[in-house]
């Protein structure tokens, strides 16, 4: 299970409202003359409120926010290990770490942060060469959480006006976060890619790789196979 620290108000609260003014997530509500109310679904667990509280009236407490799953993804041609050899990393192609948010959770950024921590610790244990984080589309908080401290980001888009618009947003975000970025064009042979190329040029970049639409890719994906198993797409 995944747990996040959320504020737990104590009796020392003097109703000063400092925590309310500090919270950037609007997760704390306070009526005039009343004690603040903490909305856990909006809380990102950043800790700002208990840091600034002048009376030290807010203490963090752990709350379940989701679950993390670990699965192995093995190259179909690799040797199948027996139970005594698992989890020996020399038999693995990839470890897949998946985070699932608790049903109804509004703020999923902490889930991404906790899954990243789990993946980083796993990578150190197995001395992994790379860690690849797959995010949802957009530039919202979970995407920002995933991009923090990354060495390289692949911005995957499609040859449509909306694809070009979203590409502009994510490239601006990566620029602000100072994350080196490369552009991948998916379903490159469908639609008009000129708007995407124009957006890339505005950032002094280019499309690094084009992936054509292919039923083979769709079928491999639906079976949970890696694209590297389709050799003609790996060059």
Tens-digit pLDDT profile for residues 20-54: 999 988 989 999 989 999 887 788 778 889 899 99
Percent of the chain with pLDDT over 90: 35
Which CATH number characterizes residue 25's domain? Answer: 3.30.70.20
- Cβ contact 143:135 at 8 Å: yes
Give me the chain's average pLDDT, please.
Answer: 83
Render pLDDT for 3-23 as a digit per residue (tens, 0 to 9). Answer: 666 677 778 899 999 999 999
pLDDT of 203? 96
| Residue 86 placed within a domain | no
DSSP state of 216: H
Domain boundary among 44, 63, 82: 63
Is 106 inside a domain boundary?
no
Encode 163-197: b = buried (16+ Cβ within 10 Å), e = exposed: bbebbbebbebbeeeeeebebebbbbeebebebbb
Domain boundary residue among 14, 38, 63?
Answer: 63
H helical segments located in 53-133: 109-126
> The domain spanning residue 215 has which CATH number?
3.40.50.300
> In this predicted structure, what is the pLDDT of residue 195?
95
The verdict on residue 189 lying in a domain is yes
Dihedral sign (CA 103, 107, 109, 113)? negative
Print the domain residue range for 14. Answer: 2-63
| pLDDT of 85 over the 50 cut | no
pLDDT band at 108 (very low <50, low <70, confident <90, very high): confident
pLDDT of residue 135: 86
Q: Determine the Cα angle at 38 with ends 115 and 118, to 5°.
A: 10
In-domain check, residue 113: no
Q: Is residue 131 part of a domain?
A: no
pLDDT of residue 93: 66
At residue 78, the pLDDT reads: 47
**Would 93 be classed as within a structural domain?**
no
Statement: the pTM of the whole predicted model exceeds 0.95? no
Domain total for the chain?
Answer: 2
Strand locations in the chain (E): 2-9, 28-29, 37-38, 58-73, 94-101, 152-157, 180-186, 207-211
| pLDDT computed for residue 9 by the predictor | 72
Tokens standing for residue 38: 């903490």
Check pLDDT > 60 for residue 88: no
| Nearest-angstrom CA–CA distance, 151 and 115 | 18
Report pLDDT digits (tens) over 136-182.
Answer: 888 887 888 889 889 999 999 999 999 999 999 999 999 999 999 99
Residue in this structure with the two tokens 């980001």, named with its chain if needed: 153
**Residue 153: predicted pLDDT:** 96
pLDDT at position 232 is 63
How, if at all, do strands 28-29 and 37-38 pair?
A: antiparallel
Query: Which range is most confident: 57-61, 142-146, 200-204, 209-213?
Result: 200-204
In a domain? residue 42:
yes
The residue from 12, 28, 63 where one domain ends is 63
Query: Torsion angle, CA of 189/191/197/200, rounded to 10 degrees?
Result: -100
Mean of pLDDT values over 65-76 = 77
User: Does 110 map to a domain?
Assistant: no
- pLDDT confidence bin for 89, thresholds 50/70/90: very low
- Split at pLDDT 50, 70, 90, the class of 186 is very high
């Amino acid at each position: 299970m995944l747990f996040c620290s959320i504020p737990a108000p104590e009796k020392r609260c003097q109703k000063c409202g400092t925590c309310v003014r500090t919270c950037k997530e609007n997760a704390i509500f306070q009526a005039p003359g009343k004690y603040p109310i903490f909305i856990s679904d909006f809380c990102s667990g950043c800790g700002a409120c208990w840091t600034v509280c002048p009376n030290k009236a807010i203490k963090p407490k752990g709350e379940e926010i989701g679950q993390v799953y670990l699965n192995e993804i093995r190259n179909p041609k690799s040797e199948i290990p027996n139970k005594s050899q698992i989890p020996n990393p020399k038999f693995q192609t990839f470890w897949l770490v998946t985070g699932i948010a608790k049903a109804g959770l509004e703020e999923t950024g902490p889930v991404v942060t906790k899954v990243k921590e789990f993946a980083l610790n796993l990578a150190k244990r197995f001395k992994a060469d790379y860690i690849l984080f797959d995010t949802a589309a957009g530039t919202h908080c979970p995407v920002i959480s995933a991009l923090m401290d990354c060495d390289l980001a692949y911005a995957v888009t499609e040859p449509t006006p909306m694809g070009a618009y979203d590409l502009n947003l994510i490239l601006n975000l990566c620029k602000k976060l100072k994350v080196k970025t490369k552009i991948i064009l998916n379903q490159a042979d469908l639609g008009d890619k000129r708007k995407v190329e124009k957006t890339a040029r505005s950032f002094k970049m280019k499309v690094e790789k084009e992936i054509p639409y292919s039923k083979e890719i769709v079928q491999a994906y639906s079976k949970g196979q890696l694209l590297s198993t389709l050799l003609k797409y790996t060059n």
